[in-house]
Amino acid sequence: MIGSGGREHALAWKLAQSPILTMLHAAPGNPGMADVTRNVRYVQIKVNDVNGIAAYAVREKIDLVVVGPEEPLCVGLADRLEENRIPCFGPKQQIARLESSKKFAKDFMTRHGIPTAGYRAFSSVDDARRYVETSAGPTVVKADGLAQGKGVVVAEDRKEALEALDDMDGGRFGDAGKSVVIEERLTGEEVSLLTFADGENLFPMLPVQDHKRVGDGDTGPNTGGMGAYTPVSVFTPEIARTVEETIVLPLRNGLREENMDYRGCLYIGLMLTANGPKVIEFNARFGDPETQVLMPMLKSDLLDIAYSCAAGKLTRKPEWRDGSAVCVVMASGGYPGNYSTGRVIHEDAAPGGLDEDSWVFHAGTAHGPNGELITSGGRVFGVTAYGASIEKALERVYARAELVRFEGSFYRRDIAYREINRS
């Protein structure tokens, strides 16, 4: 298991439930993973050290590598593992460009008739600035490369768009912002549709709605995600059929036509517009915090699914639980700006029954000098709960979040507010 965040903790928790698991190797993992199985071994290798990971996998005779974050995929980990005949749940470097290059993804969608926002790509920020100065209407400014989910600015006006370009020109996103994609702004509700891909077919998971903005009511700057829930009632059976016909099938066919043998999780970010569903982006891996709500809803064996995808032969559609799941992200004060780490974490004992169907997935934690659990990141926990209804899941998740304490902590109090307003 490659990675150390809340997504990886949730994946490890689900993988550990498989009867075919013998040993889980976590590189580098996080303190919470020790709670999911006794058979866990922490491996101090950086996620982007493709040679080190491949050498370890060969030495330990690893049967399967599951990749959580995007960076190792985008620097060629799956390629290196294949060279050493190690199965990998995650696409090769050239295919991972669907995430690592916004321009590549947009051009791919154009070639295959996949509905998406109109766009222009620029190899220099100066060219993009000249375009914005003469364009009308709200736009979305995207750094072309990887920016940890924060390289997208939804500009209300020309001034905001130009300020976003100034940030990119100033190096805020490093090399990721050296080239830019400018898109028309789409309006509607966002839905994340993740799929299992086995090189031949795409198997959609449950629809999820993420909450990107830091504050209640979707206010403040974008983050890596402040919470999520599934399923999403606005993603109706009719819309699901439209997405299958106009997006999933053309995407599958496009991958085949271009000999892109995609094995892993292919994430489709959707906007449900008045003119039908359109693709906002692709990701070459599981989403975070989407994974934290999908794993408790998955009835099937994740390890069996992942191994089958890596082998190119997922023969059965994954099965899902009824009900709902909600994740609330607990963050360090100041996030997504400057924040402090090293705060001691306390968790009160849960009252009877509360531990059942609720989980605290570690996202940014570490052990302090005396073995105590401390904060080590901006997003610290993904508190998650399952319920027979969205209301029950919300009641349970916020009750669990109240038991976790560290100095400066905060979280949104309105996760799934759109869903509640619809009910």
In a domain, 59, yes or no: yes
Please give the helix or strand (H or E) that residue 110 lies within, else none: helix 102-111
- The residue-averaged pLDDT of 307-315 equals 95
Instruction: Report the CATH number at residue 211.
Output: 3.30.470.20
Mean pLDDT of the chain: 93
Domain count, the chain: 4
- Bond from prior residue into 231 cis (ω within 30 degrees of 0): yes
In a domain, 100, yes or no: no
The pLDDT assigned to 39 comes to 86
The pLDDT assigned to 148 comes to 58
The pLDDT assigned to 164 comes to 84
- The residue-averaged pLDDT of 283-306 equals 98
The pLDDT assigned to 110 comes to 96
pLDDT surpassing 60 at residue 366: yes
Answer yes or no: do 199 and 221 share one domain.
yes
Contacts of 18 (CB under 8 A, 6+ apart): 301, 302, 303, 304
Tell which wins on pLDDT, 164 or 88.
88
Among 133-137, 265-269, 345-349, name the most confident range. 265-269
The pLDDT assigned to 239 comes to 98
In a domain, 256, yes or no: yes
Answer yes or no: do 205 and 122 share one domain.
no
> CB–CB of 1/30 below 8 Å?
no
The pLDDT assigned to 325 comes to 98
Least confident of 5-19, 37-51, 330-344, 363-377: 37-51
Gap between the Cα atoms of 200 and 251, Å rounded = 11
pLDDT surpassing 90 at residue 342: yes
The pLDDT assigned to 229 comes to 98
Answer yes or no: do 8 and 58 share one domain.
yes
In a domain, 206, yes or no: yes
**Per-residue model confidence as pLDDT tens digits over 96-149:** 999 999 999 999 999 999 999 988 888 888 888 888 888 776 788 888 877 655
The pLDDT assigned to 277 comes to 98
The pLDDT assigned to 152 comes to 82
- The residue-averaged pLDDT of 219-239 equals 96
In a domain, 101, yes or no: no
Tell which wins on pLDDT, 139 or 70.
70
174: three-class secondary structure by DSSP: helix
Answer yes or no: do 175 and 192 share one domain.
no
Instruction: Report the CATH number at residue 373.
Output: 3.90.600.10
Q: At what angle do helices 302-311 and 6-15 cross, to 10 degrees?
A: 100
The pLDDT assigned to 125 comes to 83
Instruction: Report the CATH number at residue 149.
Output: 3.30.1490.20
- The residue-averaged pLDDT of 297-314 equals 97
Please give the helix or strand (H or E) that residue 125 lies within, else none: helix 125-134
Q: What is the DSSP string of 247-263?
A: IIHHHHHHHHHTT---E
The pLDDT assigned to 147 comes to 61
Tell which wins on pLDDT, 348 or 82.
82
Instruction: Report the CATH number at residue 12.
Output: 3.40.50.20
pLDDT band at 226 (very low <50, low <70, confident <90, very high): very high
Going by DSSP bridges, is the β-strand pair 24-28/40-42 parallel, antiparallel, or unpaired?
parallel
- The residue-averaged pLDDT of 18-41 equals 92
- The residue-averaged pLDDT of 337-348 equals 96
- The residue-averaged pLDDT of 73-78 equals 96
Answer yes or no: do 76 and 123 share one domain.
no
Answer yes or no: do 162 and 214 share one domain.
no
pLDDT band at 210 (very low <50, low <70, confident <90, very high): very high
The two three-digit tokens of residue 324, written as one number: 């709902």
Answer yes or no: do 302 and 202 share one domain.
yes
Name the β-bridge partners of 267. 194, 283
Whole-angstrom CA distances from 269 to 131, 189, 237 are 26, 11, 18
In a domain, 99, yes or no: no
Residue 158 Rama label (left phi>0; alpha psi -120 to 50; beta): alpha
Provide the residue range defining the domain that includes 179: 118-184
In a domain, 303, yes or no: yes
Answer yes or no: do 332 and 406 share one domain.
yes
Sign of CA dihedral 320, 305, 317, 329: positive
Last residue of a domain, one of 51, 68, 89: 89
In a domain, 18, yes or no: yes
Gap between the Cα atoms of 277 and 5, Å rounded = 30
pLDDT band at 35 (very low <50, low <70, confident <90, very high): confident
Last residue of a domain, one of 184, 213, 237: 184
Question: Would you call 44 exposed, middle or buried from its count of C-beta atoms within 10 A (0-12, 13-18, 19+)?
Answer: exposed
Answer yes or no: do 284 and 375 share one domain.
no
Answer yes or no: do 138 and 43 share one domain.
no
Answer yes or no: do 144 and 202 share one domain.
no
pLDDT surpassing 60 at residue 361: yes
Answer yes or no: do 166 and 215 share one domain.
no
